[in-house]
Amino acid sequence: MSSKKPPNPRHRFPIYCEPGKSRLHYRVLIFKNATDLQREAAATHGHSLRRLKHTKGLCSPFTLRSYRSKARGGGFHTKPICGAIRFTDTLLNSVVIAHECAHAALAYAERRGFRPHAHGDGQFVADDEERYCKVLGDLVGQVYWQLMRRGYETVIKTATKKRGRVFTRSN
């Protein structure tokens, strides 16, 4: 790890896993380029830069706990953040957004104890699978909404028409 300060993202915003139901959220970070994303992930989460060499998007689930004073009830408290999702300006399209949000939704499902891979009775989709799909749709929708608020309309419209292989990685 380098002693240099990690680069700051151009944009950061929260996206909620089940809006209106839960305060659990991911922090989305958008970097200028893949090098900045890789350097920040290495500095923040201890990933090796070598492992992150081809990373263009990254979902890093984590749990934060803090200790409350006796006046506030004492004991450990779990913070409502599930992790960070990182994107770059240079490769910001529907493929990368959906890919990283899928990692985020799977980590959320594990944290909340539901099984998105459980099968229904053949006629109906299992409730947990439907819940996973709803979480995934909510995460992707919020990323797009936040991007449009920040002036990324042209990136969204043109990037989704591009073809080719996209390299992403989650830890």
- For 52-91, the pLDDT digits (tens) are 888 889 999 988 887 777 777 777 778 889 999 999 988 8
Domain residue extents for the chain? 11-159
pTM over 0.85: no
CA 128 to chain centre: 20
Note the pLDDT of residue 167: 38
Model confidence at 121, pLDDT cuts 50, 70, 90, reads: low
Q: Can you tell me the mean pLDDT for 137-143?
A: 95
With 0-12 / 13-18 / 19 or more C-beta atoms within 10 angstroms meaning exposed / middle / buried, residue 87 is buried
Query: Burial of 64 by CB count in 10 Å (0-12 exposed, 13-18 middle, 19+ buried)?
Result: exposed
110: how many CB neighbours lie within 10 A of its CB? 12
End-to-end Cα spacing for the chain = 17
